[in-house]
Amino acid sequence: MSSEKRYEPQMSFDYTKWFYDWRAYANKSTRSDGLESVAIAKYLYETIGVDKRNIATGGASDYEFVIHYPRPNLAESYGQSQWMPILLIQMLMDISPKKNILAVSGGLDRYRLAPFQEIYGSNITFLNNKKLSLYEKFQSSSAPLQYDVITMQEFEADASRKFDFMLAWSQDMENPFTPIDLYIDRLDYGGILVIQNTSDSVFLYQNDTIASPVWEYHNDVKLRNDCHMYHIPLFYGITVVVKNRQKNEF
């Protein structure tokens, strides 16, 4: 090992012990994710004919067809950053298993959701959106789940319907018509909201302004007194919002 490689790891995950063998998990998720991402891109841009300019503008970078899961054969220094959110999310469930999961971002999280059902018997509810549609078309056969669906109209209208775990991506929180407060209001006491890609491709930090909608929804959470928030700025960023265990806890 040359001196400049001192901080590039040769091994990353042999010290993790979890429900799965990490190499088998990476192989399974990776092999399907790559092919399915290509199929989704072809469907969106060739079959439907969605405006391709959206890719470059950031306006629709919804990550339907990029690579989401770790590659066992890539340099592990790169793979580390992909493992971080997977292991962190799994660890949260291990510490405090949840029963009613809301999947905000559909198939993007299929390999994160599958362990919840397999290990903890959690009920999974998908929000009715494009990512659910793409999951059912392209991803469900490789990662089958038992699930219900709730439309956005139902989600908004029924304040009594609560979830104790929500798995989401940043772009779902940036819509002013479905603000982060809506999701936190639908969290049960003691519930957890996990939001991925919350560094906004590092724009949140590089820009040195408060111009990002990502800054805005983090600030909205800071204004609430019924939850705690942890923004972890590694890789694409991950934010964990933990709702108080009971009303007026703090």
Partner 1 sequence: MTNSTQTKKYKAQEDLEYRSQHIAALLMILGFSTKDIEKISIDDAINLIRIRYVYKHSDPTINIAISEYIKKQNISLSRNIRRAWFDVQHALYEVENV
Confirm or reject binding of residue 50 to partner 1 (CB under 8 A). yes
Confirm or reject binding of residue 199 to partner 1 (CB under 8 A). no
Closer Cβ to partner 1, 91 or 210, answer by number: 210
156 to 175, contacts with partner 1 by CB under 8 A? Answer: 171, 174-175
Q: How far is the CB of 35 from partner 1 (least distance, A)?
A: 6
Among 57, 160, 225, 248, binds partner 1 (CB under 8 A): 57
- Structure token pair of residue 164: 């104790």
How, if at all, do strands 238-243 and 227-232 pair? antiparallel
CB 171 within 8 A of CB 62: yes
3-state class percentages of the chain: helix first, strand second, coil last, to nearest 5: 45, 15, 40
Q: How far is the CB of 87 from partner 1 (least distance, A)?
A: 28
- Structure token pair of residue 15: 């010290």
Cross-strand bridge partners of residue 167: 103, 194
CB 123 within 8 A of CB 99: yes
Closer Cβ to partner 1, 122 or 129, answer by number: 129
Q: How far is the CB of 164 from partner 1 (least distance, A)?
A: 22
Would you give the DSSP letter of residue 20?
S
Residues that bind partner 1 (CB under 8 A): 35-36, 39, 44, 47-51, 54, 57-60, 62, 126, 128-130, 132-133, 136-141, 144, 147-149, 151-153, 171, 174-177, 208-213, 216
